[in-house]
Structure 1
């Protein structure tokens, strides 16, 4: 049986290879000529469709003068790239997650506690980061990165984005009342884009799979889908067909329980009115 293609680790490896190449302002063909490797091989490695051997990867990383820490990370990804699932020990979101957003065609997100990153206002972001006691300059850096992620919703073609939010998201005290009202107004404005759907799952709907925590399903044009699981200090990536089927079923259940887009808008507007009183 051939090894699985485009596993979470294989794609993270490919993203890292692409970033390293672009950091040197090299096209795929230029890098291919430099190391005497067919450009198609490099393209397949960068997409995760194929996995380079460790010695092939070492040649590329040497030519690109990749720093030792990043080189060690990518080599480890190459060695474990065929494993179907992955627990990444970092605080979310990572560069890998951002690359998934950038390369996906469709994205479904279940958010149970916070407004999703793609829909957050700068004030909401700052309130979250400030609660983690980050230095101010570090906070501003992360805010700019998160704001840049919104570009996927305005690209050509734009990412098709569906979000189902637990009603509790609307009632969190993130920032002051005016900042929370601003966030919810932005949520309404974003939801009116043709490629964006925001729906609210009311409280007291009984048991549903979303009670176990937030998740994201990424779909791609020519690669297998991937599920992202967000934890406090780590991220999980799920690739196995059986697990994917379970999360597809969870998506269907949450979508069935959620309010319509119109009723969700009315609910959000009602919370805004309460905050502004």
Structure 2
């Protein structure tokens, strides 16, 4: 099943979940599962609330709820950048369930390469040295969907956009995953997708922001209230309004840590 399949959300909400393994590199309990409903099956990621480690700077709500809220925001903007994501009961209690995305092996959208060796058009983000002391550059693709994902990170105030969270699906789509520490009311933006810093947002991004602002003035605000605080919803609305007033990708704040560590 593809993330764009119209039946994906129903499968995630009502399907029978069977745990098949655990993603051991994740900092919170992240379970790889099979899910089946009426003869239709797929793979998914299940993050139970019971497996979340408390975070002093994200004391409200749950990480699972923030994952769902981020998905709802992306959908409201008309950006299919996050795989279908729901909040439901699972084998070990309530949690976030997200459709698994199969990726193209060797087709990474974020990479660390020697200087001047990255593909034409790719965007350099950070100059550094590798473990051998040789010069290296963190770069990412200039794919238009990656640009929209960079804009989404700004909107949801993503505090942890690592390179491994940017997926190139076998269906050709670009997807972001792992949004549990997003949507805080204070500025916490940390991302590897700084390649467009200071450049104007394109028309498609601006149109999506306008659509999102209208949704936040309607039912979306109430829907998000189930996952976020009132202050966080207001801050989300303010970030969208500021981007529309000055439609430019922001530059990193030198007083903050703008790139997550580790990068992948």
**Is TM-score (shorter-chain normalized) higher than 0.5?**
no
Give 1 or 2: higher strand fraction: 2
For the pair shown, which has the larger CA radius of gyration, 1 or 2?
1
TM-score range, shorter chain: under 0.3
TM-score by structure 2 length? Answer: 0.25
Give 1 or 2: higher helix fraction: 1
- Between 1 and 2, higher relative CO (CA 8 Å, sep ≥ 6) is seen in 1
